[in-house]
Amino acid sequence: MPRYRLTVEYDGTGFVGWQRQPTGSSIQQALEDAVFGLCQQRLDVTAAGRTDAGVHALAQVAHVDLPRDYTADTVRDALNFHLHGKTVVVIEAAAAAPDFHARFSAIGRTYLYRILNRRAPSGLNRTRVWWVPAPLDLDAMAEGATKLLGHHDFSSFRASECQAQSPVKTLDVLSIVRQDDELHVRAEARSFLHHQVRNMVGTLKLVGEGKWTPDDVASALAAKDRKRAGPTAPASGLYLTGVKY
């Protein structure tokens, strides 16, 4: 069965997340239903990362094994035809090597977190940003972010339901820039713990508000205790923006 690599964009609002669940609509189920529409077979679609409910993607990567050869354009266009009406789109399809695996072949993942930082809420992006009306100190947040870079035990930023075998990860990039009324937090690593990005963003917000200092971020990291770090930022502001192979 030939393998195809899919690059997928979606608005995660209203979905239970990537992974199939007993109840509720998932991104995976939407794609697998579209695959069934193409080839009349129930086949698994595997993603690079299992995004949570409400989390979005600009370039999620997935793979699927189809029963026969199709052109890449046919796969993309047929899946999008069967996805009509859903906030899920296959941007690109491409033939992949038999040993390509969307999850296990990945060597890096990039996330973007959007904070709308102004007094007025958003009329257009309520489900796509975290609205924080209080002023945030960008420089202090950026200094706090530097305390998290590198190879660490990130237990303080790990969800209790995380299934990773080890809390030790290497955070390659954690940058913050202001773009008009928004703060954009960008995180890059080979892989992340469950809720790690959202927990880091929630912690940095405390620094931006002046409730914490950058050194408090370092202390939270060293504690290796989830209770010592900040709150979990809402799913609405988080985007998977790319996967490296």
Give 27-55 as a DSSP string: HHHHHHHHHHHHHSS---EEES--PBTT-
Task: Give the C-alpha separation, 34 to 118, whole Å.
Answer: 40
The CATH number of the domain holding residue 204 is 3.30.70.660
Q: Does the active-site annotation cover 172?
A: no
Task: Give the C-alpha separation, 105 to 244, whole Å.
Answer: 9
Q: What are the pLDDT digits (tens) for 80-131?
A: 999 999 999 999 999 999 999 999 999 999 999 999 999 999 999 999 999 9
Q: Examine the domain organization and report whether 187 and 239 are in the same domain.
A: yes
What is the structure's pLDDT at 70?
97
* DSSP-assigned states of every residue in 68-95: S---HHHHHHHHHHHTTTSSEEEEEEEE
Q: pTM score, two decimals?
A: 0.96
Is residue 8 within 8 A of residue 88, CB to CB? The reply is: yes
Which entry of 11, 33, 44, 52 is annotated as an active-site residue?
52
Q: What are the pLDDT digits (tens) for 132-163?
A: 999 999 999 999 999 999 999 999 999 999 98
Is residue 30 within 8 A of residue 86, CB to CB? The reply is: yes
Range of the domain at 188: 108-244
User: What would the two tokens of residue 52 be?
Assistant: 């949570």
Q: Examine the domain organization and report whether 84 and 143 are in the same domain.
A: no
Q: Examine the domain organization and report whether 41 and 133 are in the same domain.
A: no
Q: Examine the domain organization and report whether 59 and 113 are in the same domain.
A: no
